[in-house]
Structure 1
Amino acid sequence: MSVADKSQKKSGGLGETVSVIVQALLLALVIRTFLFQPFSIPSGSMRPTLLEGDYLFVTKWAYGYSKHSLPFSPNVFEGRLFGSAPERGDVAVFKFPPNPSLDYIKRVIGLPGDTVQMRNGQLYINGEPVQRDKVGEIDNPDITEMNRPVEVWRETLPNGVSYDTLDLTPDGIGDNTREFVVPAGHYFMMGDNRDNSTDSRFNVGFVPEDHLVGRANIIFFSIAGGASPLEVWRWPSEMRPSRIFSMVR
């Protein structure tokens, strides 16, 4: 084999490697933009449904696509393409309205045109109390972040969606609110950890429909203690096997 042949072979091998890398990156971009986006839970606002250290997939097609479906939210178009309205009770990822560079995750409580209010810890939608039943207590700091038992209340929305909420503090700051009227094209979001959630009762405000990123779908990994998934030596003591591959409801 001549020197020229060797050089050509080396060049071809490098070109093929670069081509494979570029194709892999483009495939990952397409999957992340149009199909699934991985998301990690950054706070305790959705406890007990979602815990810090949960890693989940968000379905991007659930509500259609806006500029916020793309990395870095480029201003390439307005509104939503193939839009579909979220259902009451969905756990949704959205862009924080005051700062769209941040992703938030909450539960869809109020739809356009609804009135939403908290009265003495009871959720009211359109003037009607949402069914709320005490189902017990949780005495597990990994779930509640509290070194004491915490009351658990199950809410059932008008469309039949049920989920558990935590009541950390009776008569907390978010337990009594004004009546919110959800504008057209917006949604009212709340965390299941009612006394420890920055949501539409506070500075999140109403969430425009084009800020929706996708619906939380399935937990694919979960680890406690603030551990990183890359710290494999901590898996035996910190991994939460019972949460892996569980659906988000």
Structure 2
Amino acid sequence: MNLKHIFSKKDKSGKPKSKTREWVDAIVFAVVAATIIRGLLFSAYAIPSGSMEGSLLTGDYLFVSKFSYGARMPFTPISVPFTEPEVWGMKTYWSGLKLPYMRLPGLSSPKKGDVVVFNKPEEIDRPIDARTTLIKRCQAAPGDKLQIIASHVYINGQPAPEAPRQQLDYIITTDGTELNNKMLEDLHIDILGQSENQYQLMIPNEHLAEFKAFSNIKSVVPNVAAPGQYDNTVFPHNSKFKWNVDNFGPLVMPKRGMTIPLNDSTLTLYRTAIENYEGNKVTTGDNNILVNGKKADTYTFKMNYYWMMGDNRHNSLDSRFWGYVPEDHIIGKAMITWLSLDSTKTFVSKIRWDRVLRGIK
């Protein structure tokens, strides 16, 4: 497209354009350019909750790269541009026309350790691109075997690297001396509870050793659930698998082309993917499993799946609660914090200057 024609002062007949026509042309060009940039290259997102603290803070504004994994084409192409899926309780899209999943070539696929933006899988009553947008860290890739032991993630039997600013809930016992509030603020430690000489604190990994070194700290114990303590809010929500947020798995991530046997156990673990994400109908009865009305002893996955978790492990609704993230739900890779605002502060002090234009790790 030749830009000089767009901004020419004359129309095709050679007559001068009116001021109104010039403004319309400029607005159309701006909308088209913004749509291309937002749809194919970058989008801006805000962090509304604390599930990624302390890596990302509530009030951070991010640039998310769509070309890193390849831009995903819209599922619902008829929508109001530059709006959320719902505004004031009204839909801003029309679900009467739906397109199949397509993605442009990208630089790579999501990798373990990437901070990824994606649509929430469990909202199956909405089109995929109209579901809630979440941001978490990728912990497991397709084909990986994931296990969580005492809150630590293991991939294929090896400890997974932890994010520097990942944080966990601890029970602290002191010698009776109160903790210094300024010290807690400097170390980005949050108080969750307190009784006499005991505290429940959320402590970032990077400050844990420094905190333990204070003379009035007698013990620091991770506040984790016991192995075998069943939590029915945790995936797959079945007492056959006595898993909880701190002790989970082992579980293998589905991978495109991977074939699994179908039985009671595998169906419990993978039925959500087979039905909700890959569009099949599964029925059981008379000791048979039927997929789309046909008896099936095995199933071969059509897509890749990922495991996403928040760095704020005890304050994150993530894959531990709703399972795998299908590849068609992935939007892009979080790259830069371009602005960060602290809602508890006022005026210029609201801006966290040390987080402006900071790369995301």
What range is the shorter-chain TM-score in?
A: 0.7 to 0.9
Counting aligned pairs with the same residue, the percent is 37
| 1:119-153 CA-partner distances (Å, limit 9, x unpaired) | 11221111223356999998239955546753323
| Match in the other structure for 2:354 | 242
Alignment of 1:171-182 (within 5 A): 171-172=224-225, 174-182=245-253
Letter in 1 for 2:329: H
- SS in structure 2 at match of 1:64: coil
Alignment partners' CA distance in 2, 1:79 and 1:11? 40
| Match in the other structure for 2:307 | 188
Gaps of 5+ in 2: 1-14, 82-92, 169-182, 193-199, 207-219, 226-243, 256-303
Between 1:78-87 and 1:114-123, the stretch displaced more is: 78-87
| Match in the other structure for 1:159 | none
CA contact (8 A) 1:139 1:149 kept: no
Alignment partners' CA distance in 2, 1:153 and 1:16? 56
| Match in the other structure for 1:218 | 336
Q: Does 1:49 align with 2:55?
A: yes
**Residues paired across the two proteins, number:** 222
- Taking only aligned residues, the RMSD between alpha carbons, in angstroms, comes to 3.3
Gaps of 5+ in 1: 1-8, 155-166, 228-233
Alignment partners' CA distance in 1, 2:32 and 2:164? 49
Alignment partners' CA distance in 2, 1:36 and 1:144? 33
Alignment partners' CA distance in 2, 1:168 and 1:26? 55
Alignment partners' CA distance in 2, 1:61 and 1:17? 31
- SS in structure 2 at match of 1:221: strand
| Match in the other structure for 1:120 | 150
Q: 1 or 2 for the larger relative contact order (CA 8 Å, sep ≥6)?
A: 1
Alignment partners' CA distance in 2, 1:44 and 1:144? 13
Q: 1:128 to 1:143 in 2, by over 3 A?
A: same
CA contact (8 A) 1:56 1:216 kept: yes
Alignment of 1:1-249 (within 5 A): 12-68=18-74, 75-83=98-106, 84-99=108-123, 100=128, 101-130=131-160, 139-140=184-185, 143=188, 146=191, 149-153=201-205, 170-172=223-225, 174-184=245-255, 185-203=304-322, 205-225=323-343, 234-249=346-361
CA contact (8 A) 2:140 2:308 kept: yes
Between 1:121-130 and 1:50-59, the stretch displaced more is: 121-130
- Normalized against structure 2, the TM-score is what? 0.55
Larger gyration radius, structure 1 or structure 2: 2
- SS in structure 2 at match of 1:65: coil
Alignment partners' CA distance in 1, 2:354 and 2:161? 28
CA contact (8 A) 2:188 2:203 kept: no
- SS in structure 2 at match of 1:178: strand
CA contact (8 A) 1:93 1:216 kept: yes
